[in-house]
Amino acid sequence: MQNPEVFILAIESSCDDTAAAVLHNDKVLSNVVANQLIHNQYGGVVPELASRAHQQNIVPVIDAALRKANVQKEQLSAIAFTQGPGLMGSLLVGSSFSKSLSLALQIPLIAVNHMHAHILAHFIDEEGYDKPEFPFLALTISGGHTQIVKVNSFFDMEIIGETTDDAVGEAFDKSAKILGLPYPGGPLIDKYAQLGNPKAFVFTKPKVPGLDFSFSGLKTAILYFIQKKKQENPNFIEENLNDICASIQYTIIEILIDKLKLAVQQTGIKQIAIGGGVSANSGIRTRLKENPYGWKTYIPKFEYTTDNAAMIGIVGYQKYLSNTFETASVVSKARIQF
């Protein structure tokens, strides 16, 4: 039976977004994210700058989340925070703040695995959103992660495939960098790809056994291809940007779909839930919506797919219901067992 009055304050600070959310049971009352634009000029996340920015952002972001939710801190039932995986300096800002607040308010502290949260984001109660049923396959694709997970229940999950090198988002961002596009390049590749021919150029797909992924070879293939073409024609990128982006995106989507097909074949599970920033990609969305394989696919609201605290809150709520709490001696973990 659901406890009708659980208010969770959730805090996410694993990478370069400082985020806070307030949930009432499984409903999101507020979901605030402060992006750290400082990293754009460096072409990637600079860990030292990320933790400093978290320190500046965390109080105003939490304050905004409580105000938007119209919840007083005295009403909170528990504080949930991201324990890992992530950048240690960034994680420490969120965990230290959460520990202090839970001590001050005398309420339970809940540690959340960021990867569980990307998956359980599908259980946020949203009008019109059909939640997946167990068991299902979760494909988590972002700048930091690429995983296929067999999800048997809220806390019984098994990684059945993951990247052996770069994450999908990195493949997008590094390809974009080769093309001279600013960071993060994923959304730009998507934008130009929509105007191009996905079959204009062919990039060889990596041959990785089983359900694992590899994207570093693709990045190198793109680099050599562009270097060669630019020697022949210095304006090659400018003249072919849409087609290059469409071809890169097409190849990446094919890699993902091939592995999903294999995962469905191996597990017999046809429910696929997508999460992570790359699930915003219009090519992936279209491909999954076309539903050529008879799968039932789930893509949550965009604000719950990129790094956010509402997803930390929904895990917090489940852990609250099962009395899974931590003491202030809980430690942040850059790497964390699933």
Q: Which lies closer to Zn ion via its Cβ, residue 241 or residue 274?
A: 274
140 sits near Zn ion (criterion: CB under 5 A): no
Question: Residues forming the annotated binding site?
Answer: 114, 118, 140-144, 173, 186, 190, 281, 307
Least distance in angstroms from the C-beta of 122 to ligand KG4: 15
Q: Which lies closer to ligand KG4 via its Cβ, residue 118 or residue 150?
A: 118
Q: How far apart are CA 11 and CA 14, in angstroms?
A: 10
Residue type, 82: T
Q: Which lies closer to ligand KG4 via its Cβ, residue 108 or residue 184?
A: 184
Q: Which lies closer to Zn ion via its Cβ, residue 159 or residue 262?
A: 159
Q: Residue 172 binds which entry of ligand KG4, Zn ion, none, with Cβ cut-offs from 5 to 8 Å by kind? A: ligand KG4
Please report, for residues 129, 150, 158, 159, 335, the alpha-carbon distance to residue 116 in angstroms, rounded to integers and kept in the order given. 19, 11, 11, 11, 13
Burial group, residue 131, by CB count within 10 angstroms (0-12, 13-18, 19+): middle
Q: How far apart are CA 66 and CA 71, in angstroms?
A: 5
Residue type, 50: A
Quick check: 71 and 7 in contact, CB under 8 A? yes
SS3 content of the chain, % helix, strand, coil (to 5): 45, 20, 35
Tell me the window of 75-83, 136-144, 197-205, 327-335 that interacts with Zn ion (CB under 5 A): 136-144
Q: How many helices (H) and strands (E) does the chain have?
A: 9, 10
Q: Residue 120 binds which entry of Zn ion, ligand KG4, none, with Cβ cut-offs from 5 to 8 Å by kind? A: none
243 sits near Zn ion (criterion: CB under 5 A): no
Q: Which lies closer to ligand KG4 via its Cβ, residue 77 or residue 175?
A: 175
First to last CA, the chain: 27
Under rule CB under 5 A, how many of the chain's residues touch Zn ion?
2
16 sits near Zn ion (criterion: CB under 5 A): no
Residue with tokens 């719950």: 304
Q: Which lies closer to ligand KG4 via its Cβ, residue 28 or residue 71?
A: 28
13 sits near Zn ion (criterion: CB under 5 A): no
What letters, b where the CB count within 10 A reaches 16 and e where it falls short, cover 275-302? bbbbbbbebbeebbeeeeeebebbbbee
Among 307, 308, 310, 316, binds Zn ion (CB under 5 A): 307
Least distance in angstroms from the C-beta of 234 to ligand KG4: 27
83 sits near Zn ion (criterion: CB under 5 A): no
Question: Residues forming the annotated binding site for Fe cation?
Answer: 114, 118, 307
Q: Which residues bind ligand KG4 (CB under 6 A)?
A: 15, 142-144, 169, 172-173, 184, 186-187, 190, 276-278, 280-281, 306-307
Applying CB under 5 A, the residues found at the interface with Zn ion are 142, 307
